[in-house]
Amino acid sequence: MRRSILLLLALFAVKLTVALQFDRHPLLQPDTGLDTSAYVELAHRVSAGDVALGPGLYYVAPLYIYFLALAHTVTAARVLQALLGTVAVALIFLTARAWFGQRAAWISAALAALTGVFTYYEALILQSSLDVFLTALALWLVAKQRWLLAGCAFGIASLNRPNMLLAAVLMWSAAAVPPLFERRHGRRTPHWFLAGLLLALAPVTIRNLAVAHQWSLVSSHGGINFYIGNGDGATGFFHAVPGMPSTIEGLARDAHRLAEAATRRTLTDAEVSAYYSGLAWQWIRANPAAWLRLLAWKTYAFFNAAHVSTPFSYTFYAYDAGTLLRVLFVGPWLLVPLGILGLARRRQWILIVFAAAYAASVILFFITERYKLPFFVAMAIAAGAGAEALRTWRRVAVMVILLVAVNWPLHLDDGRTEERLRMAEVEASRGNVSEAERWAGGVQSPRVEYLLGRAYLAAGRPAEALPYLRSAIKHRVNVPLAGYDLVVALQQTGDRDGAVRVLRALKPPPNSPVIVFLQLARKAEELNAPEVAEPFLRRALTLSKR
């Protein structure tokens, strides 16, 4: 027991170190504008007294919002998540011991402790940070045959990862099959499990009825997610929907707007979800062969170990950001083949049903790594039994085949380059030019080039700023009046004629304030170009009279 506690404390120290490293990382702050910002904003609303978060349905899974609100700070949340992740490894050990024996349990626990993606997601401010713990808890309660509590745990997990609900319902249905479960788990198992599941879901369902006046077990984003994974343009992975930003708030807002524009009537949140589900089913009925090919591709992609991280890149934080994740070398590349081998060898049916049902619940929508975390927990539990099975050449050969199949390169974008460019933007905005260039690594990005030009300009090195600013403007950087910085750089290098030519070509957006036109006119006067200043002054005068 003492040795086990010491090992868990060491594991917690590793997870806590990663959590604190993430807490200081510039790309992982609450104001990043990605999914993290949405959860933090909703948690602040709850802390401020808006507990029900009305008036509509939740547009994200609600459990993590309240977890963040109770934690009060992002740092406290990361520490709590590291602690829960440590407990999850202990639960994986206990579950594996109950189903596969002591030695297999130690192997499973060691593999889970060294699994980088577990620690990675536990350190992020996303709802996936709770998935490993909640899944490990639910499966441990199943292994202990505490069916009412197991149902409650699956219900709570569904409030954090809604597609877990489909896996729980399929488990409940399978538990009613006498040859599989009745002799081992008892006749009343399905009823207690279902009762616990409904009990855990009840508070959110009642809230939806009382606050949103709509029937929904959890949240409202199932329809748009189903459409992304199965509608026109579906790739099997997340992709931008035309007319909508790729953020959870943007999807929630613009999905509603576009659905109402298409139907020409006011829609409830549930009706919006149904609208996009309907679009997906229309596409499926019109393209059955294409959908079956897509489904087969998603099935293989689910079991493949390729990192498909949204909105953050695991490979970047593991190998580029200098975190302790680098030493946590185990991942899906090993857990999945060992887990499949262990389940095939020992045939723990209720774990097989969970793994298959959860896989189906993700494949029906779209594939991304964080959605697969509960499946990885199941694989970790069975991995010890898989490792024990490697006693004959035949099983070793099967393991080699599984390793090749799971790790076959899919050449997907793991987000690593995008994260490096984001770091280049951060360093350039801080004036750290050499660091920004190192992160950019020669990758062409108009925004990074623009920021590098600004950084050189701020450092008093206009000659070095020029090529970056010119390239950014040539590639149409999405920055209003980016050319003004080029004017300044040309002026400071003594190229007065070049600065005047660029200034003359500048066209501020129509909604620009008066001060913008006055500033451009002042710059033209500095360059002794009154003919360039005149139209800017005329526009400023017109605006001032409005």
- Start-end ranges of CATH 1.25.40 in the chain? 416-481
Q: What is the mean pLDDT of residues 421-450?
A: 83
The pLDDT, as a whole number, for residue 268 is 85
DSSP-assigned states of every residue in 397-415: HHHHHHHHHHT-------S
pLDDT: which is higher, 149 or 1: 149
Q: In the structure, what pLDDT confidence band is assigned to residue 113 with cuts at 50, 70 and 90?
A: very high
Q: Is the pLDDT of residue 459 over 70?
A: yes
Average model confidence (pLDDT) for the chain?
90
Q: Is the pLDDT of residue 188 over 60?
A: no
Q: What DSSP character marks residue 324?
A: G
Q: Is the pLDDT of residue 184 over 60?
A: no
CATH class for the domain made up of 416-481: mainly alpha
The pLDDT, as a whole number, for residue 158 is 96
High-pLDDT (> 90) share of the chain, %? 56
The pLDDT, as a whole number, for residue 72 is 92
Q: What is the pTM of this model?
A: 0.87
Q: In the structure, what pLDDT confidence band is assigned to residue 177 with cuts at 50, 70 and 90?
A: low
| Helix/strand/coil for 126 | coil
Residue type, 200: A
Q: Is 125 left (phi over 0), alpha (psi -120 to 50) or beta?
A: beta
Give 235-256 pLDDT, tens digit per residue: 999 887 777 766 777 777 778 8
Q: What is the mean pLDDT of residues 156-175?
A: 89
CA contacts within 13 A on the Cβ side of 6? 3
Compute the distance between CA of residue 231 and CA of residue 156 in angstroms, rounded to an integer.
30
My answer on whether omega of the bond before 311 falls inside 30° of 0, hence cis, is yes
Give 41-95 pLDDT, tens digit per residue: 999 999 999 999 988 888 888 999 999 999 999 999 999 999 999 999 999 999 9
- Structure tokens belonging to residue 111: 């593999």
